[in-house]
């Protein structure tokens, strides 16, 4: 009998890429020290036959867009932790050079985040593009984002020439760097928006979807994939929403293994006909049922690599639904419901396997963004970030229990079946039955192109 800091007994351990093992997990110094074997723990958790997943990695969140960055580092990572998310990838942007000022943002995470965090930086100007090697070397940031279509009034679009040149810059650096792209055609969107503005002074959530048609996303996917094929860089499509894009990506991905696809848990569970109306206004918009089904099919067929949230923390006062379709802000908080929506709509309703869930929500985000195997699996040497789930637990969602600074949820009032019941971060039990029970100290994850 050896000693360990913590032993988790009697769980069904879901190991992405491997399967489900009935085994104990020993934890020492915040890392997994062994699977199986005879251990006595100074602390013990009895999992009672429940499934244990590697801590969820949400590769796509935003912090500080509408609220204070530092306070959202606290509230939103706490919301993530309550929902079984132990690592977040946060997009940051702005028109100014990042070096060296972004090191201050990294320093701000200290003592604030309760999940681990890594950053992706938006590349919007030639100066920022020139900074890329330095941002990798000196700040440990290896993922960058380009907006083929921005958010009108908030984020500018980039031209194709700039997009292609950034891809070439990335290709020269190699496969350690990854370029993320928001794929939509801004000219198509502008035309559709202008036409609708002539006839609609206000509109529904479904009308909002018509301002950014499905083919606008599909076309941009084709174009960016073509450029990436020529340049030779790794390319990651954020928040893919439309069936048309998925169909195209199935062909593109079979020809180019350097192309990766993310969708989001809201796109897998909400349509443009949602009863939440304009509260669900988003960019890209929610689509029709066929797209939701195509996304689930793409998860089964390995076309989708990762699932994020695109969490944008918002209050009703910021969202301003009362300003109507044109005036309401896009975005919603989604970290606290990320895993429950996938367990409800995917595992419980569609028979998606937990091994698949662990792959798309933990292993692949870790691999694609350079964090594997420190993150993304349950194996000796990996960080002891774990989530124990109860597939039968049913909870009616109430945003007040989700820990976010946002004061609404897309799922308020909806019963979701399948919830995390314990979150273990760096070997500490930090959430039990949706309550914080321990202090979690998250850290900035410095990456290298190794
Ligand atoms: Zn986003």
CA distance 326 to 328: 6
Chain centroid offset of residue 256 CA? 23
* pLDDT for 26: 97
Label residue 154 by pLDDT band (50, 70, 90): confident
Label residue 259 by pLDDT band (50, 70, 90): very high
For residue 144, pLDDT over 70 is answered with yes
Task: Give 323 Cα–ligand 1 centroid separation in angstroms.
Answer: 22
Cβ proximity of 12 and 21 under 8 Å: yes
Task: Give 171 Cα–ligand 1 centroid separation in angstroms.
Answer: 23
Domains and CATH numbers, the chain: 2-51+381-436 (2.30.40.10), 61-368 (3.20.20.140)
Model confidence pLDDT, tens digit, residues 384-394:
999 999 999 99
For residue 251, pLDDT over 70 is answered with yes
Task: Give 435 Cα–ligand 1 centroid separation in angstroms.
Answer: 28
* pLDDT for 196: 96
* pLDDT for 151: 82
Chain centroid offset of residue 259 CA? 17
**Cα separation values, 370 from 59, 140, 175, 177, 385, Å:** 12, 11, 10, 8, 17
> For 108-218, where are the E strands, in sequence order?
116-122, 143-147, 178-182
Task: Give 44 Cα–ligand 1 centroid separation in angstroms.
Answer: 39
Give the residue-averaged pLDDT of 102-115.
97
Task: Give 24 Cα–ligand 1 centroid separation in angstroms.
Answer: 37
Q: Residue 231 belongs to what H/E stretch?
A: helix 214-231
Closest CA to 152 of 271, 326, 5: 326
Model confidence pLDDT, tens digit, residues 2-13:
789 999 999 999
Task: Give 91 Cα–ligand 1 centroid separation in angstroms.
Answer: 7
Task: Give 7 Cα–ligand 1 centroid separation in angstroms.
Answer: 37
Cβ proximity of 391 and 347 under 8 Å: yes
* pLDDT for 152: 78
φ, ψ at 66 (rounded to 5°) = -110, -20
* pLDDT for 137: 97
Task: Give 79 Cα–ligand 1 centroid separation in angstroms.
Answer: 18
Give the residue-averaged pLDDT of 52-80.
97
For the record, the structure tokens of 260 come out as 């990766």
Burial per residue of 300-314, b for 16 or more beta-carbon CB atoms within 10 angstroms, e otherwise? eeebbbbbbbbbbbb
- Per the prediction, the chain carries an average pLDDT of 97
User: Partners of 178 in the beta sheet?
Assistant: 143
Task: Give 188 Cα–ligand 1 centroid separation in angstroms.
Answer: 20
Task: Give 254 Cα–ligand 1 centroid separation in angstroms.
Answer: 26
Task: Give 241 Cα–ligand 1 centroid separation in angstroms.
Answer: 12
Task: Give 396 Cα–ligand 1 centroid separation in angstroms.
Answer: 27
Task: Give 32 Cα–ligand 1 centroid separation in angstroms.
Answer: 32
Model confidence pLDDT, tens digit, residues 351-375:
999 999 999 999 999 999 999 999 9
Task: Give 1 Cα–ligand 1 centroid separation in angstroms.
Answer: 48
Q: Residue 169 belongs to what H/E stretch?
A: helix 160-173
Q: Is 365 helix (H, G, I), strand (E, B) or coil?
A: helix
Task: Give 60 Cα–ligand 1 centroid separation in angstroms.
Answer: 6
Model confidence pLDDT, tens digit, residues 419-443:
999 999 999 999 999 999 998 899 9
For residue 348, what are the contacts with CB-CB under 8 A and spacing of at least 6?
A: 391, 417, 418
Closest CA to 136 of 123, 149, 124: 123
């Amino acid at each position: 009998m050896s000693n360990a800091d913590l032993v988790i007994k009697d769980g069904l351990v879901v190991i992405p890429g491997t399967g489900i093992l009935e085994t104990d997990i020993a934890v020492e110094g915040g890392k997994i020290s062994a699977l199986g074997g005879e251990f006595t723990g100074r602390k013990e958790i009895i999992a009672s036959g429940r499934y244990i997943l590697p801590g969820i990695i949400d590769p796509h969140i935003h912090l500080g867009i509408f609220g204070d960055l530092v306070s959202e580092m606290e509230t939103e990572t706490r919301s993530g932790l309550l929902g079984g998310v132990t690592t977040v990838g946060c997009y940051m942007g702005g028109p100014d050079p990042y070096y060296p000022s972004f090191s201050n943002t990294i320093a701000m995470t200290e003592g604030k985040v309760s999940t681990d965090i890594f950053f992706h930086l938006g590349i919007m100007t030639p100066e920022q593009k020139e900074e890329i090697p330095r941002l990798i070397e000196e700040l440990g940031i290896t993922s960058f984002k380009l907006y083929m279509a921005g958010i009108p009034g908030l984020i500018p679009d980039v031209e194709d020439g700039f997009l292609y040149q950034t891809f070439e810059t990335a290709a020269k650096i190699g496969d350690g760097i990854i370029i993320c792209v928001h794929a939509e055609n801004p000219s198509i969107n502008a035309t559709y928006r202008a036409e609708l503005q002539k006839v609609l002074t206000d509109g529904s959530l479904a009308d909002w979807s018509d301002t950014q048609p499905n083919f606008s996303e599909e076309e941009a996917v084709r174009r960016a994939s073509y450029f990436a094929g020529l340049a030779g860089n790794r390319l990651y499509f954020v928040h893919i929403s439309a069936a048309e894009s998925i169909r195209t990506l199935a062909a593109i991905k079979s020809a180019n293994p350097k192309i990766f696809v993310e969708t989001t848990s809201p796109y897998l569970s909400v349509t443009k006909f949602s009863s939440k109306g304009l509260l669900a206004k988003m960019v890209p918009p929610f689509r029709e049922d066929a797209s939701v089904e195509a996304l689930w099919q793409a998860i089964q067929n390995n076309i989708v690599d990762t699932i994020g949230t695109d969490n944008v923390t918002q209050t009703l006062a910021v969202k301003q639904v009362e300003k109507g379709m044109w005036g309401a802000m896009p975005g919603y908080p989604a970290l606290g419901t990320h895993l429950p929506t996938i367990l409800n709509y995917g595992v419980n309703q569609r028979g998606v396997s937990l091994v698949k869930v662990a792959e798309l929500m933990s292993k692949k985000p870790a691999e694609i963004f350079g964090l594997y195997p420190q993150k993304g699996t349950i194996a000796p040497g990996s960080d002891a970030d774990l989530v124990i789930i109860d597939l039968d637990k049913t909870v009616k969602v109430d945003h007040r229990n989700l820990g976010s600074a946002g004061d609404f949820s897309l799922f308020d009032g909806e019963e979701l079946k399948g919830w995390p019941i314990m979150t273990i971060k760096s070997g500490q039990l930090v959430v039990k039955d949706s309550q914080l029970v321990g202090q979690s100290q998250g850290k900035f994850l410095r990456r290298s192109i190794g």
